[in-house]
Amino acid sequence: MTLSLCVAQLNFIVGDLDGNVKKIVDAAKQAYADGARLLLTPELSICGYAAEDLFLRPAFIHACDDAVKAVAQQLAGLKGLSVVVGHPMGGDSRTRSVAVQQRHNAASVLREGQVVATYAKRELPNYQVFDERRYFTPGNGVCVFTAGEGADAVKVGLLICEDAWFEEPARLAKEAGAELLAVINASPFHVGKGYEREAMMAQRCQATGLPLVYAHLVGGQDEVVFEGHSFALNADGSVAGRAPSFKENLFVALVELAQAAIKIEARVEPERSPEADLWDALVLGVRDYIGKNGFPGALLGLSGGIDSALVLAVAVDAIGKDRVRAVMMPSPYTADISWIDARDMAARLGVRYDEISIVPEFEAFKASLAPHFVGRAEDTTEENIQARIRGTLLMALSNKFGSIVLTTGNKSEMATGYCTLYGDMAGGFAVIKDLAKTTVFKLCRWRNAHDPYGTGSAPIPERIITRPPSAELRPDQKDQDSLPPYEVLDAILERYMENDESIESIIAAGFAPADVVKVTRLIKINEYKRRQAPVGIRVTHRSFGKDWRYPITSKFRA
């Protein structure tokens, strides 16, 4: 017995039903021509993941139903090919006050123009960025279908993503006769998640004694990224195949019966470093946000500092130098080395580079406000005015030319409010919003040592990496004038924000009480700022996005 199967690791667009149908049909025809008789597409492949409140619109569900039928009809002539497609199914009963879900996150098996089986996801995640219980109700069935024909037929147990993280769905599939588990997925990336999945699925193989194929989505969708990294495991949990990460791929695996046991053969992509995954996640997130939303290009403020340097390097890798514009906006407090390094980096990457002094506007603002500020010394008010002038200039360029403004704030700044509303926070997409400052430094060094997209080696001038960080909004300013050292701040941030540790336990771990109290207080009082920040790419297991839902008005401190 030998069955050739193909995982269609594809990049879908939410709501582009015609485009998604075409991708599935084209992949199925190519796989069939190459000998495959089973094609697996990712979770909710018909509509894209995640469609959020589009699921609540009856017209959207009806359109998805029609799209499933269209795939079946267009593949009707491919005799013996089974195609698994993910789609929403059903509806709900709603009033203005109550909604009773009757809708499922489903997958259907299509064969020769017919829907031969349909499975409803049993385990619905409702944590981190997941919100599936808002839209779906759990299924309670089992789906085992036959792929291939005659002596090459294999009984396949179908699971959807979260189902495979629990014992019961896989066990029930085996009891129903499954010889192979097929898991279709849309599981958002965070650093290390791909190998966590492999380890968990290995446990599922070992518990059931069945081999497993994991079909995963690839692409960026708003704040989340899906990295692909589909894979196949033998019954003992060993890796039999691994698809590339962060790119579309038709991943082929051969399922063979040898000595009364099923074995899988496929190519195995090498394991990757966390930095390589992180870089590709940022690049894919930027490329898809810009591309899927139709922006002609991107622009950013290039300050000569490390955050904007990293964002510029990511943007060029994502969409190419000809679609990226960097703008240096010096103030009275901008050091010479800042514009020298900004010019140097722009030249290294070959992007358009402009300098617009904000001194005239800054002086005009101060003159207008002088009668109202009599007797008051300069403070953060004047610092914020500079940031807001820059934000206004960038947004004016964006409005005039259509390019999206990429903001350059990092997670450490978002956490502590070390950023200016309507200033450096002004823009359309926050590329490094989920990167702690210490990670920014590490990733800049990684990029200087690697050129994964062929856009130029060592694009970031060394001095940008080694000089002390400064917002340059007042004379001789340094970040550490206002914040603890980033090594301390980021460690507290990880414990408190990402892992929900208490203030007492963080202090007990050896951190200075004053630092812990200061950082956690800043996190609390700056919630109102984060609510107004642009969406940004999630790369940790907890970001300031959908998986952080704290009240702005609250007296509680953990």
Instruction: Enumerate the active-site residues.
Output: 43, 121, 161
Ramachandran category for residue 173: left, alpha or beta (phi over 0 → left; psi -120 to 50 → alpha): alpha
Q: Which two tokens stand for residue 481?
A: 């004038």
At 507, list the tokens.
Answer: 């202090």
User: ∠ CA(216), CA(266), CA(233), 5° rounding?
Assistant: 60
- Complete DSSP assignment for 367-435: HHHGGGSTT----HHHHHHHHHHHHHHHHHHHHHH-PEEEE---HHHHHHT-S-TTTTT-SSEETTTT-
Coil/strand/helix, residue 136: coil
End-to-end CA distance of the chain: 59
CA nearest to 314, candidates 344, 288, 353, 340? 288
- Answer yes or no: are the C-beta atoms of 217 and 226 closer than 8 Å: yes
**Residues facing residue 405 across a β-bridge:** 299
CA distance 117 to 106: 11
Give SS3 for 241: strand
H helical segments located in 187-335: 193-208, 274-292, 306-319
Contact in structure between 536 and 433 (CB atoms under 8 Å): yes
Tokens of 317: 């890798």
139, 173, 486 from 142: Cα distances, Å: 9, 6, 51
CB 81 within 8 A of CB 111: yes
Question: 232: part of which helix (H) or strand (E)?
Answer: strand 231-233
Tokens of 556: 């509680």
Taking the C-alpha atoms of residue 53 and residue 56, their distance in angstroms, rounded to an integer, is: 5
